Amino acid sequence: QVLESMGSGFAVLEAVPGDTGEPVDFTILDVDPAYESIAGSERDQIVGRRLTRAVPGLGRVWAERCAESLSTGLPVRFEGYNPAWDRWYGIHAGPMPGKNRCALIFTDITERKRAEEALLASEEKFRALVEHSLDGTLILDLEGKILFANHAAARLADLEDPGELLGRNVMEFVAPASKADALRDFEQVAKGIDAYVASYEVLTTREEERWVESIGKTILYNGAVSILISLRDVTERRLAEEALRESEEKYRTLFDSASDVILIHDLEGELLDANRVATERLGYARDELLTMKIVGIVTPEFAALV
């Protein structure tokens, strides 16, 4: 009754000796109601039968484990799948009082095994996704220690092997100028305020500066609350933006310091920009000029020519 309340079935077996006296099979002497429920076999259909015939698929393995238990005098624990029933079982086999007798205690673990298989499939998909991603992926504990890193993350740090990142603190790779921002954002994500994009300057193992865009989210990893971070190298984009900004600054300096009137207009004649000399000589404020058309600042006799 105790076993049944735990969802376990019980069977008593007696060894069938071969020519050398070693067990080659087992006869089922008795089973409890839980066995009938779990295995889906009526007691009167299996008692007295050979184990290998009564339990197709798993019977041979069960017989071998019972023989092992009788040989050593110690209990044996194992798991097995029965394709005939499409079920998984966790089994204990152990010697019983009485010559060549063995007890089987087994539990249906199908749901657990299917959950494990689903988890394994999910983890395989995750690993396949992150390992082939062009973006870096890190998993950190709440102290910032790196628990997982993909190859793209290793490349960001100028490393070949992602394993070299494991156990190190992610703050080792954050440049001094970005440490305060990174710590602030890390604390926010650790509190569950996540999924927002931030940019940081980072240092590789060769002390080279790079810029990354980062987004973090809290997850469960190996049963503990952790932080998943996705990293994208945006160094080239940052350099291009800086070069563009410098170019714009140079243009604006030349534009505003020129001694000639300079106006920019579209193909409809709408004024888009005017330099400092234009506002001084024409007598309009810059904002006022940008509401006018080019023909509005010339005398009527020149309008057609313009």
Asked whether 87 and 81 are in contact (CB, 8 A), the reply is yes
**pLDDT averaged over every residue in the chain:** 88
Residue 261 is predicted with a pLDDT of 93
Answer whether residue 120 shows pLDDT above 60: yes
Over pLDDT 70: what percentage of the chain? Answer: 97
Residue 132 is predicted with a pLDDT of 79
Q: What sign does the dihedral 243-245-249-252 (CA atoms) show?
A: positive
Residue 191 is predicted with a pLDDT of 83
Q: Identify the burial level of 159 via C-beta atoms within 10 angstroms of its C-beta, where 0-12 means exposed, 13-18 middle and 19 or more buried.
A: middle
Scan for tokens 């410098």, then name that residue.
Answer: 246
Mean pLDDT of 261-276: 93
What letter represents residue 283's amino acid? G
Which tokens go with 230? Answer: 């996705």
Under DSSP, is residue 197 helix (H, G, I), strand (E, B) or coil? strand
Residue 43 is predicted with a pLDDT of 84
- How far apart are alpha carbons 296 and 50 in whole angstroms? 108
Q: What is the pLDDT of residues 39-49, one digit of tens each?
A: 767 888 889 99
Asked whether 190 and 144 are in contact (CB, 8 A), the reply is no
Which tokens go with 127? Answer: 């690993």
